[in-house]
Structure 1
Amino acid sequence: MSDTLITPRATTAVPAARQLDAALVWLMALTCGLVVANIYYNQPLLAAIGRTFHVSDSRASLIATATQVGYTLGMLLVVPLGDMLERKRLMLWMLLAAAGCLGAAAVAPTFVLLAVASVLIGICSSVPQLLLPMAATLAPEADRGRIVGRVMSGLLIGILLSRTVSGYVGAHLGWRFVFEGAAALMLALAALLAWRLPRDRPAFQGSYASLMQSLGTLVRELPALRRSALVGAAIFASFSVFWTTLTFYLAGPAYHYGSDVAGFFGLVGALGALAAPLAGKVADTRGPRYAITVGIVLALVSYGLLGVGGGYLVGLVLGVILLDVGVQSAHISNQTLVFSLRPEARSRLNTVYMTGYFTGGSLGSVIGGLAWMHFGWPGVCATGGAFVVLALVAHRYYGRPASQAVLPTAATQP
């Protein structure tokens, strides 16, 4: 297939200097955080949802899986449209649809309808994956890394703090109120973005079919992209194994805690995420692959600590911090490597990588729920650790000749 399916035509966007200011950057970061939070609100609430619909812990965990499956579908089928359609209009429609789906989840009369609404919430919450390439496009070249990093920080904080907010609110006002509040936030964000977000002209002028075909071309032509997607999938699966089952563990005989305490661990994870920007400095000096290895090793150590000391609060807290530092460091460094492969196709590179990433997250939620049901906390830690080992093996060996199986420096990246 020709490269014309991959390389977009030149955009005629308005110069960035007239569109991007500090207030808009912070609004983008806030939007990323609040929208991505829609995917994670349900995790501290799974036990309460299970009680409402009289389903087992394992079945209740399918709500988290359904939302992540939806997010994966959104990234695969909707995010590439950011290269083809006007992004502002696309994001506004997605925010309005997300508000409707969150409202439907809040009043869902059955578990099945809640699961369907959760899939749709995930699809409509892929807005951050449209905002990040937009921020990179609008940013002056000299400030692009700093601006994209700031927007990404909103995404990471939203992922982690969403559990804290939903756990606390769910414990005091009920899980349905969490979804009602999230729906109101989406409407408010839509109004803010309609007022402040500039329009940008689409870069890709082919058909939707050719746009989607170009994803396959990228996957075939770039083994480093396939490797990064596999590593990302495995590392995020390990992350989901832990967070999907944590609320059940905390509610069980070891701790007897409610959803508010489960949500508190999101704050603990946020402390870990503050160290993630150090991965960028390591990637600059030692290369992204070295930084990815460091993140994977930290995640593996965290599961060892959680398995041995998870029955003690201090061991659980330290394990959470290490897990979040490791996973976020590996993810940020992995994404940096992916964006360097073919700059003219970054939106679609991001689609391929993030689709793999959240496919792994969905798989981790399912397998984590099964591990908890059949083997308890030791099974959860063993399963999470196994996914981390898979990430390490794929990172070091997948798609490389034996003579190149060592970690290269930044100068030898593909």
Structure 2
Amino acid sequence: MSELLAKPAGAVSVTLPAHRLPNSLVWLMALTCGLVVANIYYNQPLLADIGRTFHLSDSNASLVATATQVGYTLGMLLVVPLGDMLERKRLLLLMLLGAAACLGLAAFAPSFALLAIASIFIGICSAVPQLLLPMAAHLAPEADRGRIVGRIMSGLLIGILASRTISGYVGAHLGWRAMFEIAAVTMLALLGLLAWRLPEDRPNFTGTYGSLMKSLLTLTSTLPALRRSALVGGLLFAAFSVFWTTLTFFLESPTYRYGSDVAGFFGLVGAMGALAAPLAGKAADTRGPDFALGIGTLLAVGAYAVLGLGGFHLAGLVAGVILLDVGVQAAHISNQTTVFSLVPEARSRLNTVYMTGYFTGGSLGSVAGGVAWTHFGWTGVCVLGAGLSGAAYLVSRFYGRE
């Protein structure tokens, strides 16, 4: 069993570099993660506008967000493992080119069906951050791994949350299609920057794609810490998606009567949660990832208590957003620190397993959030989010522990 965990089928042992990752490269990776992951979330503050364009209900319009997250999950499952097999820089550039093309298609989609299909492929091609994070974990010294992963994740998280602010403003003033046009041009500009600056990174896996994918099952079945991290991450991201998928509908309801620009502003408020990422990484390096994980899951539970009791007042809604984002991101960094420490030779595949679970939860959370809002309103949304967060806490404490 120990040999199986140390060297998954087809892997070759590597010596991790002892040098420190240059700060310029860390920041470039953080910028890349933020800009690319934003593609997945631009549509969330625009859902009501998209629904009006195609004459859809709120619940049906929310399927655009679900389609993008499903695509992202497929990208992580089918494409990200190739980071252990193919030269990563070339793979990253091809994915950016595909993202630009699909964003352009979404911008000019004449029907909702074509927009949904384009959204799936936007998600697939936007899995770039899940190739960059294992690369950074490989290059980083072990003592600084949590801190560096946390710093890059802070860029990714700011991208997730600032994307809502940007798209909400653009949607309110230029229309939702303009946001996809701007995103397509951004991907082309980023492609040029990475082609110039990003170093080549050749992996060590020498097997076939079939053996590469088979090793995902081996890793999952033999590593309880990996399964636990994937379950906790999936539950928490489901809770996170429940909130962000329904926020636009809540803000446009008679309770607030705000537009998409205000919904996008809440992304900027939530970006404060990104400040927790480097701190969580540092805590994982010094006190162990379980410490930050426990705090993160409890903060998410507390956030939904605040949202449920005080969300009908703006101050309560803002406080809940901050607590939710800090909690979810602290737990996410802790999970990734744990996962990247398990089998160094298989970090792309480990990340695939973890992030597939993570975004599967997010996709289901988007669907469940739309249903909860349609049938039970804001109270139903908060009860659902609190239940998912509480389940994440219980799994983190008891699943796979000896």
The answer to whether the superposition gives a TM-score over 0.5 is yes
Change (3 A) 1:6 1:156: farther
In the alignment, the residues of structure 2 paired with residue 287 and residue 389 of structure 1 have an alpha-carbon distance, to the nearest angstrom, of: 21
TM-score, length of structure 2 as denominator length: 0.94
In structure 1, the residue matched to 2:87 is 86
> Partner of 1:186 in structure 2?
187
Amino acid at match of 2:271: A
Residue 273 of structure 1, CA deviation: 2.3
CA distance in 2, matches of 1:115, 1:154: 27
**What amino acid is the match of 1:332?**
I
Contact 1:44/1:163, CA 8 A, preserved across alignment: yes
Deviations along 1:65-115, whole A, 9 cap, x unmatched? Answer: 000000000001000000101111111110000000000000011111111
Structure 1 residue 396: Cα displacement: 1.8
Corresponding pairs, count: 399
Using a 3 Å threshold, how does the CA distance of structure 1 residues 340 and 16 change in structure 2: closer, same or farther? closer
8 Å Cα contact 2:29-2:132 kept in structure 1: yes
Aligned 8 A contact 1:237 1:361 in 2: yes
**Equivalent in the alignment of 1:407:** none
Name 2:391's counterpart in structure 1: 390
TM-score by length of 1: 0.92
Q: Specify the alignment match of 1:343 in structure 2.
A: 344
Contact 2:45/2:260, CA 8 A, preserved across alignment:
yes
**Separation in 2, partners of 1:28, 1:393:** 33
Amino acid in the other structure paired with 1:60: A
Superposition map of 1:218-297 within 5 A: 218-297=219-298
Q: How far 1:8 sits from its partner (Å)?
A: 2.1
Consecutive unaligned residues in structure 2, runs of 5 or more: none
**Maintained 8 Å contact 1:11/1:202:** no
Q: Deviations over 1:368-395 (max 9, x none)?
A: 0000011111111011111111111211
Residues 45-65 of structure 1: per-residue CA shift (max 9 Å, x gap): 000000000000000001000
Distance 1:16 1:111, change over 3 A: farther
Q: Quick one: distance in 2 between partners of 1:341 and 1:10?
A: 14
Q: Distance in 2 between matches of 1:336 and 1:139?
A: 12
Does residue 161 of structure 1 match 2:156?
Answer: no
Assess if the C-alpha contact under 8 Å between 2:147 and 2:282 holds in 1: no
Return the alpha-carbon distance in structure 2 between the equivalents of residues 276 and 201 of structure 1: 28
Deviations 1:230-251 (A, max 9, x none): 1110010000000000000001
Give, as a single letter, the amino acid of the residue that structure 2 aligns with 1:398: Y
Given the alignment of the two structures, is residue 8 of structure 1 paired with residue 15 of structure 2, yes or no?
no
Contact kept? 2:8, 2:219, Cα under 8 Å:
no
Q: Do the aligned residues in 2 keep the contact of 1:7 with 1:345 (CA within 8 Å)?
A: no
How high is the sequence identity, in percent, across the aligned residues? 74
SS where residue 274 of structure 1 aligns? helix
Aligned mates of 1:12, 1:200 — CA distance in 2: 14
Structure 1 gaps, min length 5:
405-414
Say if 2:204 and 2:345, in contact at 8 Å, map to a contact too.
no
The alpha-carbon deviation at position 136 of structure 1 amounts to 2.8
**Residues in 2 aligned to 1:143 and 1:379: alpha-carbon distance in whole angstroms:** 42
Q: Is the contact made by 1:38 and 1:122 (CA closer than 8 Å) also made in structure 2? A: yes
Amino acid at match of 1:195: W
What is the RMSD computed on CA atoms of the aligned residues? Answer: 2.0
Deviates more, 1:219-228 or 1:257-266: 219-228
